[in-house]
Structure 1
Amino acid sequence: METSVRPGSLRGWTELVTQLGGEPSALLEDAGLPPDALVDEDALISARAAMHLLERAAGDLECPDFALQLSHYQDIDAFGPLTAALRNAPTVRAFWILASQWLFIHSPAVTLSVEEADGSAAILFDLVLDPLPPVRQTIDLVLATCHRLFAIVLGGVYRPVSVWVPHTPSAPLTRYIQFFAATVHPESRRAQIVVPAWFLDARIPDADDDIRANALTYIESRFPLPDATLTERVRHRVFRTLGTEDADYGAVAKSLSLHPRTMQRHLGREGTSFAGIKDDVMRNTAHRYLIESTMPASQLAQTLGFSELSAFTRACTRWFGASPTAVRNRY
C-alpha cells in the first residue's frame, strides 16, 4: 500500500519554486502528480512523490537550502485535523506525546520519539519508507519545521542545544548553524534536535484543555490507531539501535517483551525473519549514507555494526554488486 502525506507538509512549495525561477507544473509532472496536487492541504499524495518534489526542486533550482527556506512557510496549521490538539497541549512533553501517537494522520512516513539522558532531551525523527528514496531535503524540512514550530509556540523559551543531521548537508554547514542558532552535527546516525530536559515541561501559552479534549474525541472517532505488525516493530527497533548490542537478536526480543524463539516464530508467520529484517535495515541505511554523506567507509562500517571494513565491503558487494566506493561513485 502506498504511503501518503498531506500536501500541507509542502505548504509554500509552489510559491518558493516560482520565486526561485522554477516551473512548478513541470516538477509536479515529473513526480507523477497533477498540477493541482498541492492545492487541497487535507488531501493525500504519495510520500515518495513529495520527497521527490523536494529533492528535484533543490537540485534543478540549484538551491541547496531549499528545505530550510521552505520551512518559513510552515506553521502548526499544516497538521490538519491534529492542529487543535497540538496547539492546546499543556506542555512540550504533552505536545510530543500527542504528535508521536497521531502523526500518522499527517504522514505515516515519519515517526517521532523523545529520549532523555544526562539533563538533555533528544527529539528524534525517523523516516520509515522501505526502501528510502533520497531524503536530504525531507529530513532538513522535518528538522527545520519542528524548530520553527517551537520558536512560534514558545518564543524565547525555546533554544536548542544542538541539531544532528544524518547526512552531509547540501548547503554550507554555516547556513545550518545560522538557521538553528545551535551546534550542528552532520553525518549523525539519526535526525534529532537536542534541548535541555527542563524544556519538555515548559508550559505552552494559552492552551485550552476543553479544546484539546474535543479535538482528540474527533480524531479518535475518525482515525483509529493502526496496529503495527511485529515485523514493523522489530524493524523500527533495529533501526533505532543499529550499530550497538541492542540491535542483536536477543536484545531486540527482550525490548519487545518476547522470548527470542517466540519472536522468530511470529516473524515466520509474517513471512520474514529477524536476520532478514536486520539485513534489510543495514542495506537501506548503508545505501542512504553512501549516497547522501561523505562519511568514510571505515566509519560507516562501525555505524552499521561491522567489526571490520572488509566485512562491510563484502556486504556491499552482496547488496549492490559493487564496493562502497563504487556505489558512492554512481551518484
Structure 2
Amino acid sequence: MDLKYLDALAAVAAHGRFSAAARALHTVQSNVSSHIAKLEEELGAVLVDRAVGSLTPEGEVVLARTKRINGEIASMRADVASMTSHVTGDVHLGIIGTPGRWLLPPFLDELRRRHRDVNATVLDSTTLALTRLLEGGELDLAVVNAPVDHEELVTTALFTEEFVVIAPAGHALAVLGDREVHFSELEQHELLLGPPESAMRTLIDSAAARHGITLRTLAQLDGIRLTATLAFQGYGPAIVPITSIPVWTDRGDWSVLTVADLPPRQVALAIRRRGMLSAPAAAARDVLRIVMRSVSRRIPGITAA
C-alpha cells in the first residue's frame, strides 16, 4: 500500500473536496482521484462519498489508522535523529485544565532547558476529549483524570489531589466556616458537580454511596475551572480539586471546606497501549515526572505518585 494513497484520503477528509485536497498536497486533482480509487480497489470498499465529499464509515476507519501510521513515521524520524545527535522533534501533549495552570509553566521551562530542540504543542481539554485524541494518534501523551477505562490506552499514576467544597457567601454551607463537613451535611444542599460519566464524579458519588447518600445536583458541568468560577461568583457550592482555587486569587467572600471520607482525585499520564513513544515524547514524559515531584512539594493538597 502506497503512503501517498493514505495521504490523499487524509487530505480529502480535511478539505472536503478533491480539488482542495489536491491544492493542499501540491498536486493535481486527477492524482488525488487516482490515489483514492486505487486505495478503494485495494481495500475493496468505497471510502469517499463523492456526492458530498465526506468519508464513508469505512473511510473513517482507514483515516483513523492513517493518523496512527503518520504518527509512527514521524516518531521513527525523531528516534533516528535523536540516536545520531540529541533529542529533537515534536511532542503533542494533552492536559486537563486545572493542572495545566500550575504544572505547564515549570514543565515547559524544564523541557526547554533539558531538550531545547523538542517542540511541545499543548492542548487543554477534558479527559473524555483527550482520550479520544490520544487513541486517534493526534496526541502523544495526556494528563487525565483517573481511572481511565479504555482498552487502547494505558495509564501511570502522576499525582493525587484533595477535594474541597467552595461555598459562596450567603449559602448555608459558607456559614459553617472553613472546616470539615460530612456527606450527611452535603446531602441537604444542591451542588455543582461534574457529569455522571466523568472519573471525578464517579469517585465522589461512590464515596457518598458508602454512607448511603445520593448527592443532589444544582448543575452538572464538564469543566472544573467553570465549576469553580460559578461557585466563586455565588451561583452555588461546588466540589472541586483544591488547585482549582488559583494561588493568585485574593480570598473572596466564600468558604473552603474539606469533605470527610472523600478520597483524593487521581490524575494519571496516559499513552497508547500499542506502539512506542517517540524520543521527544519519552523525553517529555520523563521531564513531566521530574517536575511533578518538585512542584508537589510546594502545593498544599498535592501528592506526587
TM-score for the superposition, normalised by structure 2: 0.25
Of Structure 1 and Structure 2, which has the larger fraction of its residues in strand? 2
Of Structure 1 and Structure 2, which has the larger fraction of its residues in helix? 1
Query: In terms of Rg, which structure is larger?
Result: 2
